[in-house]
Amino acid sequence: MKELYECLDPRGRRPGDSTIPLKTPRLSSLKDKKVLVAMKESFGNVMPALYDELLIQAPDVHFVPWNLDLQGRLTLQWAKEQKFDAVIAGVGY
């Protein structure tokens, strides 16, 4: 008899996990959008590398980096006041 092992789905979900549908549709383009990039700097150089790559791949986007280690926690009220079009929540958020 073969042994069976449980493993994680590479998309980060296990069969049977429920998903929460998005309340707003995905943006068709990031061009001329204001995007918050929030993550912890304590995870190596992920944030600077991600930010640099985003600027290369989407030069028409206004990315606002938020370093949780240096700038602290975000509040929903502040994020709403800034009128971001999208948010990228990265490692450690």
Characterise 32 by phi-psi region: left (phi > 0), alpha (psi -120 to 50), beta (else). left
Is the pLDDT at 62 greater than 60? The verdict is yes
d(CA 93, CA 50): 15
User: How far is Cα 25 from Cα 92, in angstroms, rounded to an integer?
Assistant: 25
**Least confident window among 15-24, 50-59, 81-90:** 15-24
Q: Domain map of the chain by residue range?
A: 34-89
Residue 58 token pair: 């989407």
Between 3-7, 24-28, 75-79, the lowest mean confidence (pLDDT) is in 3-7
Q: Which position has the higher pLDDT, 60 or 77?
A: 60
What's domain 34-89's architecture? 3-Layer(aba) Sandwich (3.40)
Q: How confident is the model at residue 92 (pLDDT cuts 50, 70, 90)?
A: low
